[in-house]
Amino acid sequence: MTGFVMVEGPDFKAQVFPLEGESLTIGRSPLAQVAMVNADVLELEHFLVAPEEDGCRISTAQVTRHATRFRGQDFVRGKLPWGAVLEIAGWRFRFEKDRRKLGPQAGTRRRLLFAAAVILAVCIAVMAGRKRSQQGVQGAVPELPAELVRGQSCALRGPDATARAHELARQGSSRWERKPYDVADGVAAVELYLEASSCFAAGGDARKSQEYALLADRLGTVLAEDAQLLRVSLLRALEQNNRDALLHAAKRLQPYVAKYPDDLSRWLGSLVRQLQAERQAEKTRQ
């Protein structure tokens, strides 16, 4: 049975996720089938959802920091009809069997934004190239590297590899939870998941290996899209000759490419040093 859930939050635009399989989890954990890693009101695995023909059986985590409400009443577990909306501290989870009831554009915001960002990046890059000499920024903005993360092969075999895989997975989950506060943790998390996948394979658990490989791929895509959007912000600031915005965008983009130095990381480092020197010189003149 398949259904859909539309999630909305105070600072989170509506996004739709499929509900696939006999049961699945929704929560902050990257391992949840519907992973809402930045939804602080949720527990790691907040909901257990079992879609059925005429509705969803839903159970909440035994211990939660925020009450889950359905039609204004506390909700812990039970079967809800399609169309039901659960609310948690300003977040809304609407469950529907028919994808069309959630609107033609619901859930596509990130993909549309990313596509628009790529197009905008090309346009801004062309315009920025015309004004670069006036702005004193040397050289064209390099492209993002093909890979932001690199996984390691597991050096162990058998039960030792499996034990190592579980430890790597635990570390990856912990690091990804810190990604909103430090992008370097997000990069490290994806690499830990890739190594966990390799170790699960070395331990003979093909299913777990594939699970973590897919998870690493999904989260790696999130990192790449975030980095691309930041590069667009940088290009826009460059086109507008907004030095403060340029420095802000450059410093935010740096952690995505800092681990493996390349043309972009070196260019960003040079740019940040230049802009910081300009700021210091301006303060001195004042």
Amino acid at position 29, single letter: S
Q: Do residues 48 and 58 lie in contact, with contact meaning Cβ atoms separated by under 8 Å?
A: yes
Once rounded to an integer, what is the mean pLDDT over residues 21-33? 83
CB 49 within 8 A of CB 57: yes
DSSP 102-143: G-SSTT-HHHHHHHHHHHHHHHHHHHHHHHHHHHT--SPPPP
Q: What is the pLDDT of residues 227-285, one digit of tens each?
A: 888 888 888 888 888 888 899 889 999 999 998 888 999 999 999 999 999 988 988 88
119-153 residue pLDDT tens:
555 555 555 444 443 355 656 889 999 888 998 99
Residue 139 has what pLDDT?
Answer: 67
What is each CA distance from 209 to 161, 165, 216, in whole angstroms?
Answer: 11, 9, 11
pLDDT (mean) for 44-59: 90
Residue range 91-109: mean pLDDT, rounded: 75
Lowest model confidence (mean pLDDT) among 111-120, 156-165, 183-192: 111-120
Report the residue count for the chain: 286
pLDDT at residue 136 in the model: 59
Q: Which amino acid is at 66?
A: H
Cα dist. 186→16, 183, 203, 218 in Å?
23, 5, 26, 12
- Span 3-102 CATH architecture: Sandwich (2.60)
- Residue-range domain boundaries for the chain: 3-102, 110-285
Name the residue among 255, 269, 238, 127 with its Cα closest to residue 182.
255
d(CA 156, CA 52) in angstroms, rounded, equals: 42
* pLDDT at 202 (0 to 100): 95
The amino acid occupying position 136 is G
- pLDDT over 70 (residue 118): no
